[in-house]
Amino acid sequence: MASQLHLFHLRYKDAYPVPPGTINDDAWEYNGFSSYNRGTSLVNESCVPLAKYMARVVSHYTNSGHVDECGHWHVSGFHYDWAVLSVLNENEHNTGQSRYTICYDAIRTEIHKFNTHIKLAGPEVVGASYAGGFLDPANHALGAGAPDIMSHHAFLGYGSGTVSFAPAIDNFIKNVVAPLVAQRDKVAPNTPMVLNEWIPFLTDWCDPDDAAALFEKHGDSLARDPRASGCPNWQDPKTTGIRANRAGLGWNSAAAAFAYGYGRLALQGYKYLGADQLIGGPWPDNEPAVSCLDWTTGQENAKYWSIHMLAHAMGTDSKDFARATYSGVPVPVAPPVGTTGNGTCGATNFGGDCNTSPKGAWPAAQLHITSLDECVAHATHLGCKMANFVSFSNVPGNSDCSWYQECDMSNLCEDCSVCLGCPKYYPYESKVLHGPKPGPAGGATTSPLVFALPFSRNAVKRRGVLLVSKVAAPLRVSLVANSANLASPNDRSMFQNVSASVLDGTVDGVVLDSEPGFVAPVARQLDENGTLLLGPFGVAIVDVEWQ
């Protein structure tokens, strides 16, 4: 499959490092503006004044200056080469499809009066929203044609060091990306598609000791992060100084999510993928759960290194991607069905669909669930496809029957006040309902455990395989060349003793570092059978000799 997918960043020199991403429209262009999403009526619904304002900003930074509304020229001396301008953000001011399309066309018209090189990306909505309608040239101004670039965002839900983002990514590709690609192919086949914000929220972003100390000090006056109940609300100034969680696999999980998303979007023909976000942290910063750096030390975490590895290996030139098949799918060591353990598989929230959500919870007391076996029976009765594991607690103040698609039974959280931030110790029990399901023999098109993306870069004569582990357990992955172009199908010689760059929280693929999310990529060799040891949520790029 021939396609291209780039990771990119723009370099700046001299003057101010103004980012080229989203230029937000000016507040005065709206009636009743009072905050980010208030004020939904434009002063002029033609959007021309807003478009002229945005064009002045672009001109100031790309065209050495701008002309104000009174005709005066203001020199800047800036000549930044902005390749892409992202127009507005996530339906701000409840713009809606019709108004957004009018504004996009007006902004493009004004900017192209002095800069025809820059491409405008939109509509920058979360998921699909009105992106499908925006793609259709029939919804744009007469003669405007299709949009330059269709860009949107992916909210991937919540993951952690024990919960993979892979199921959420699979659902996003199936329910959002594939239909959008089909719509693009139908109405605007020449419009590139990109994903500007890839957003995996971690529920274990904070240092548990720091969190416990803050909760003990401030009590009920310090709220919990609604997305991560074991961590405090980072928007509260009391959280200044709380450190990142360096002991868990959360950052590795986010790193695997980015690499897996890159691979899945590459096969859909996307042009580039942008991660959210480089820098985050508690008050007064922004969204620690998605940071690529330790906000206290500045050290790069696994999410950063995943992006760095892909950018280095894939470059910006044209690439060919192929679809891998999977046989004898590797199964991690796991306890048999019926195994129980003390502790919980992880934090959950009440609600969710146990057939599609990778984790969720039922209120045990309300459903008269009084034991672990009754929790199991409830999941079994509902036929939950995602309930491979359950965790149960039923004590005053905590009535919980939770399900999980994935769980490390060897590393259960025995005291949730320590590892999840519960207000106090609550006893939990967990049980295995279903074991890992090996893929069918003969070459399955997907694996529940690992993702592989063969690629080649003809311009630089480089080829290889991207590998991503979807699970919080070590794997042993064997690569086999299977092609009609080879003298011997199922040929292992291509991968014998070749080198790989590996990011998996270990040095050797076996012993997990005490701070796995902050171990930089290492070189590791495949053995004579083309086998690679890949640690929990590991990402690897295998180099193959060009032939």
Q: Rounded to 5 degrees, what angle do the CA atoms 105, 109, 113 make?
A: 165
Q: Quick one: average pLDDT of 26-49?
A: 67
How many angstroms separate the CA atoms of 370 and 363, rounded?
A: 11
How many angstroms separate the CA atoms of 544 and 457, rounded?
A: 11
3-class SS of residue 492: coil
Q: Quick one: average pLDDT of 470-490?
A: 72
Whole-number pLDDT of residue 510: 85
Instruction: Give all domains of the chain, ordered by start, each with its CATH number.
Output: 7-126 (no CATH), 340-432 (no CATH), 450-544 (2.60.40)
What does the mean pLDDT of the chain come to?
87
| 4: confidence class by pLDDT, cuts 50, 70, 90 | very low
**Considering Cα of 373, then 377, then 379, then 383, what sign does the dihedral take?**
positive
Whole-number pLDDT of residue 39: 63
What pTM, to 2 d.p., does this model score?
A: 0.76
Q: Quick one: average pLDDT of 316-320?
A: 92
Tokens of 503: 């990011």
Element counts in the chain: helices (H) and strands (E): 10, 26
| 505: confidence class by pLDDT, cuts 50, 70, 90 | very high
Q: Quick one: average pLDDT of 500-511?
A: 93
Among the listed ranges 103-112, 208-217, 298-307, 341-350, which one has the minimum average pLDDT value?
Answer: 341-350
pLDDT single digits (tens) 262-313: 999 999 999 999 999 999 999 999 999 999 999 999 999 999 999 999 999 9
DSSP label at residue 472: S
Q: Quick one: average pLDDT of 471-475?
A: 92
Q: Quick one: average pLDDT of 341-369?
A: 90
* Partners of residue 158 on adjacent β-strands: 201
Find out whether 300 and 291 touch, Cβ atoms under 8 Å: no
Q: Quick one: average pLDDT of 319-338?
A: 77
Whole-number pLDDT of residue 111: 96
| 29: confidence class by pLDDT, cuts 50, 70, 90 | low
Q: Quick one: average pLDDT of 73-97?
A: 92
Q: Rounded to 5 degrees, what angle do the CA atoms 440, 445, 447 make?
A: 65
Whole-number pLDDT of residue 35: 57
pLDDT single digits (tens) 150-171: 999 999 888 999 989 999 999 8
Whole-number pLDDT of residue 40: 67
Q: Quick one: average pLDDT of 244-265?
A: 97
Q: Quick one: average pLDDT of 422-433?
A: 89
| 336: confidence class by pLDDT, cuts 50, 70, 90 | confident
Whole-number pLDDT of residue 487: 37
Judge whether residue 491 has pLDDT over 70: no
| 419: confidence class by pLDDT, cuts 50, 70, 90 | low
Find out whether 123 and 152 touch, Cβ atoms under 8 Å: yes
